[in-house]
Amino acid sequence: MAAERALRTAAPHLLLDAVRSVLAEEYAADSVELFMADYGLTVLQPVAVLPETLEPVSVHGSPAGRAFGAQEPFIEGLSGGSEGMVRVHLPVTVRGDRLGVLSVTLPGGQHARSRLGELGDIAEVLGHEVVVAERDTDLYLQARRKDRLTLAAEMQWQLLPGRSCASAEYELGAQLEPAYAIYGDNFDWSATADRLMLYVSNGMGEGIEASLLTNLAVNALRNARRAGISLADQAALADQAVYAHYRGRCYLSVLMFDFDLSSGRALVVDAGSPQLLRLRNGRIEHVTFDAQLPLGMFEETAYEAQRFEVEPGDRLVFVSDGVHAVASPKGEAYGDTALARAVLSTRLLPAADVPRAVLRELTGHRGQAAPDDDALVVCLDWRGRP
């Protein structure tokens, strides 16, 4: 494919120029724009080099936002001076991680519709190249922000694996709030042919100190995981790393899972405050495990893994204490009833959309726009392996 060759040979900051050239030459494209989803998942930000500017596009209610939300191409008819032209909005997604939308203006009618499959392939290749290019340029990361990130939030977003991913056995989605000022909450995942490891963590403190604590703990867990160590021993080694640095002054809560993709059986280490709700056959259940000490609270803590099992069709929703402990103006904790209600009300949404929807419900429950603590929601839909 000409577009793939052009993208693979383009400089990291010139990917959009490369795809524009190919689409103009081979598809008679009149204009091509790339929009990246912002950190708060509220707008699609244009990729442009100053002084070139385009207006951001809302994720909700816009043609581009419709393609982003549905993860399907959307053809927008144009009027005025663009008679016979349409704008095709294509989701830019990499292995389930929704990056943004590629918008291409083309001659309308059968020409556009007959090329949707090819255009979708180009958008997918572009997404993969953007992920690789982010190692060498800030252009696409800058485009994702509609406001300035705090330094703590910058550190946290760089630590995350992505906001969603998908495979034949599962779909994952996650979101943090406030997106531009988070500091202690975090999630991480890693998959192989046979296993999925998922971690939901909640570090104590605020600002840079909370972010530094989380960075230390998450990288200690990754170091142990990549050495092939068991889940319980991962927790023990990360506990030692955190305690060695902070001597018990700071610690981190984490809920850790190691899923067997073929059977749905999992090992779990519950070391702190993150909570889990399970939606099965239309019923919500609060799942609890044997509580163990947070990482770094005491020296040389020993951890034990428990057994857990998921079934095809299960939805697991993980939340930090910035969600389940939030009180309404009347003093009702969100985790008591409102969280279960929010999970049930979002049962028809795909996993990638659930975290943001639950966090919107949380804002209404809280009664104020600005949260007092950062909040994390992770959603796992389990399909299982045939």
**What distance in Å separates the CA atoms of residue 162 and residue 174, rounded to the nearest whole number?**
8
CA angle 119, 124, 126 (to 5 degrees): 95
Averaged pLDDT score across all residues of the chain: 93
State pLDDT tens for residues 264-291: 999 999 998 899 999 999 999 999 999 9
Asked if the model's pLDDT at residue 52 lies above 90, the reply is: no
Q: What is the pLDDT of residue 123?
A: 98
Among candidate residues 240, 223, 166, 217, the one with its CA nearest the CA of residue 196: 166
State pLDDT tens for residues 116-148: 999 999 999 999 999 999 999 999 999 999 999
Instruction: Report the sign of the C-alpha dihedral through residues 108, 48, 140, 157, in that order.
Output: negative
Among candidate residues 13, 179, 161, 142, the one with its CA nearest the CA of residue 97: 161
* Strand pairing report for 315-319 and 306-309: unpaired
Asked if the model's pLDDT at residue 149 lies above 90, the reply is: yes
Q: What is the pLDDT of residue 386?
A: 81
Backbone angles phi, psi at 261, to 5 degrees: -65, -25
State pLDDT tens for residues 158-182: 999 999 999 999 999 999 999 999 9
Least confident of 11-20, 226-235, 362-371: 362-371
Q: What is the pLDDT of residue 2?
A: 87
Which of the four pLDDT bands, split at 50, 70 and 90, describes residue 14?
A: very high
CB burial readout 173-202, b (16+ within 10 A) else e = bbbbbbbbbbbbbbbbbebeeeebbbbbbb
Q: What is the pTM of this model?
A: 0.94
Burial class of residue 331, CB neighbours in 10 A (0-12, 13-18, 19+): exposed
Backbone angles phi, psi at 158, to 5 degrees: -70, -20
Which of the four pLDDT bands, split at 50, 70 and 90, describes residue 108?
A: confident
The residues, any chain, with a CB within 8 Å of residue 334's CB and separated by 6 or more, are 323, 324, 325, 326, 327, 328, 362, 365, 366
Reading the block at residue 236, the tokens are: 């023990």
Residue 101's beta-bridge partner residues?
A: 35, 91
**Which amino acid type is present at position 380?**
L
Please state, for a pLDDT cut of 90, what percent of the chain lies above it.
81
> Omega of the bond prior to 371 within 30 degrees of 0, cis?
no
Least confident of 28-32, 48-52, 196-200: 48-52
Least confident of 160-169, 278-287, 306-315, 361-370: 361-370
Asked if the model's pLDDT at residue 83 lies above 70, the reply is: no
Q: What is the pLDDT of residue 337?
A: 83
Query: Do 100 and 34 meet the contact criterion of CB atoms below 8 Å apart?
Result: yes
Please state, for a pLDDT cut of 70, what percent of the chain lies above it.
96
Among candidate residues 272, 380, 377, 382, the one with its CA nearest the CA of residue 334: 377
